[in-house]
Structures are given as structure tokens and as C-alpha cells.
Amino acid sequence: MSLRKAIDDKCKECIYCPLSKGTWRQQVADCASTQCPLYDVRPKSNAKKQGG
Ligand code: SF4
């Protein structure tokens, strides 16, 4: 597994709620945990291309 995918998967597992608004990428992009070590490298919203 690439680091990129590992980080993506971690953030998705961490914050994504299917019942909340937006795709998982949008929800991760909206993460407010600036103290998290992954904050600066978290996946950013690219929902149009990725389709959620
Ligand atoms: S950056 Fe946000 S979503 Fe990603 S692991 Fe940290 S707290 Fe969770």
C-alpha cells in the first residue's frame, strides 16, 4: 500500500460519516483537527473526479 493510500484510508476511517453531508473527501477536506500529524497531508476534495 502506498503512503498516499494509507493516509487516505486513515482519514476516511477517522472522519467519514455516510449520514453526514458530502463525500468522504469533502468531509476529510473539512477536517478541523489542525494538530493531527496527518492534517497537512490529508486528501483534499477532488470529488468531481473521484466520485466520492
Ligand atoms: S487529518 Fe483529520 S481526518 Fe485525517 S486522521 Fe487527522 S483528524 Fe482524522
Output the CA–CA distances (angstroms, integers) from residue 18 to 6, 7, 39, 51, in the order listed. Answer: 20, 19, 21, 14
* Ligand 1 pocket by Cβ (under 6 Å): 10-11, 14-15, 28, 31, 33, 36, 38-39, 42
Within 10 angstroms of residue 12's Cβ, the number of other Cβ atoms is: 16
Q: Give pLDDT < 50 ranges for the chain.
A: 47, 52
pLDDT of residue 49: 53
Ligand 1 atom with minimal separation from the 11 CA: 4
- Radius of gyration of the chain from Cα atoms? 10
Q: For residue 38, give the C-alpha cell.
A: 496527518
For atom 2 of ligand 1, the residue with the nearest CA is 31
